Amino acid sequence: MRIKYHYAWIIVFVTFFTFLAVQGARLSFGAFVEPWEKDFSMNRGTISLISTLSFIIYGISQPIIGRLVDKLGPRMILSVSTFVVGISFILTSFVNHPWQLFILYGIVISVGVGGASNVAATVVVTNWFNEKRGLAFGIMEAGFGAGQMLLVPGSLILIQWFNWKLTVVILGLILMVIVFPVILLFLRNHPGEMGLSPMGGFMKAEAESEQHTAHFSVWTVFCKKQFWFLILPFAICGFTTTGLMDTHLIPFSHDHGFSTSVTSAAVSVLAGFNILGIIISGIAADRWSSKKMLILLYVIRALSICILLYSHHPVILLIFATLFGLVDFATVAPTQMLATQYFKQYSVGFILGWLFLSHQIGSALGAYVPGFLYSEMGNYDLSFYFSIIILLGAAIFTFLLPETVKIKKEQKPKTDSASNETVSKRVNTP
């Protein structure tokens, strides 16, 4: 029996697997907060500063990574970056002083994680998909949730059973021995490298788009309101997810008296529903207004943080984890869709680089400010109230974006007319 499939789905799987390992390892930072406090005699604010530096370096790297992806291709960037993160995690086990953590984790690992990120992966998925792109983005982003579900609780358990040094060695070996070879063997930058056409076939507008990409004006992009009304909400998104929650949710749960098992269960539930939310948002992005989706997601996220403020019972904590998980990374697919629609005539790598720079700036602030306020006030209440307010602001900014319905209607017949070509280029496997 011969099963037909398009190699584009292999590309999506590889990016999913890469995100699961690399970003999952990065998202496990919260599991190391308390062990590092004890081993290095650092307070919560100083530990948060390491995370802040990490987000800043990650963010600064994004526009640079975008340019490198355009020149070297996403396969080269993703593979080398994964290897750098893996070996850096192993070297972290030899750290004896706080300043070494700042250099190794805050800078070196962050550069590697910045390379194995959405910028390179989004470019390769865009190259391979001219239809079902929203679904592909959703599956790709689900790697974040899968990594969060597996590696964050896994790190907590390994730290509890052994110690944090053995845990980082295990994470590093996974990246170097398993993930790095998979990227090299299976990832390809463009379907043309395998004599294939993209999913949905080639679109007539692609040649014109490539000509515009070669000589576009940066200031033209900066002068567009679409750019800023995507950038600002995405910065707020970073503040409230990878900044606030991924850094401080575990310590917050412990402060409220929850055991490691309850905290791990909450993180797993959050990650599981994160995967579900990402997939749903990816599918919906192909069918519904990405703008309206983002407004709804930001409002629901604000509501979930309201619930977290009163989570003094495990059931309430799990309710928060469920609701927040559904909207955690679900914002990425519709944001990427809007970016590729508003700026399709420009360099995709460049635009996404700036977009994720804003996300990391927000993440840096979301990691440091709550840690600083905790050191000063002894709780996270003010940080959570502030997050609720700015999330409502993100919803307002998104409301001011123009709709993209007309763009979709123009592309639909082009996609349909090319669909037969894609089918004829599918790969047969026994």
pLDDT in tens, 312-359: 788 888 999 999 999 988 888 888 888 877 776 666 667 777 888 888
Q: Angle 348-377/118-128 helices, nearest 10 degrees? A: 150
- 89-103, 166-180, 342-356, 374-388 — most confident range: 166-180
Q: Return the closest-CA partner of residue 246 out of 374, 121, 148.
A: 148
pLDDT confidence of residue 426: 41
Interatomic CA distance for residues 299 and 236, integer angstroms: 12
Q: Quick one: average pLDDT of 256-279?
A: 84
Asked whether the predicted pLDDT for residue 412 surpasses 70, the reply is no
In the DSSP assignment, the letter for residue 289 is: -
CATH number of 10-191+212-415: 1.20.1250.20
pLDDT of residue 389: 95
Mean pLDDT of 70-95: 91
Residue 347 pLDDT: 66
Is the per-residue pLDDT at 115 higher than 70?
yes
pLDDT at position 391, please?
95
Of residues 145 and 39, the one with the higher pLDDT is 39
pLDDT category of residue 105 using cuts at 50, 70 and 90:
confident
| Residues 6+ away with beta carbon under 8 Å from 341 | 290, 404, 407, 408
Structure tokens at 415: 């996609």
Question: Which pLDDT band holds residue 429 (cuts at 50, 70, 90)?
Answer: very low
The more confident residue out of 302 and 65 is 302
pTM: 0.70
The pLDDT, as a whole number, for residue 207 is: 45
- Crossing angle of helices 44-72 and 118-128, in 10° steps, is 30
DSSP string, 147-213: HHHHHHHHHHHHHHHS-HHHHHHHHHHIIIIIIHHHHHHH--S-GGGGT---BT---THHHHHHHHH
Residue 346: predicted pLDDT: 65
CA dist 189 and 78 (Å) reads 11
List the chain domain ranges: 10-191+212-415
Residue 217: pLDDT band (50, 70, 90) is: low
Q: Under 8 Å CB-to-CB from 396, ≥6 apart: which residues?
A: none
DSSP string, 205-226: HHHHHHHHHHT--HHHHHT-HH
Return the structure tokens found at 24: 């999952």
Largest distance between two CA atoms of the chain: 66
- Which residue, chain included where needed, has tokens 């496997």? 429
Residue 418 in this model has a pLDDT that exceeds 80: no
Residue 174 reports pLDDT greater than 50: yes
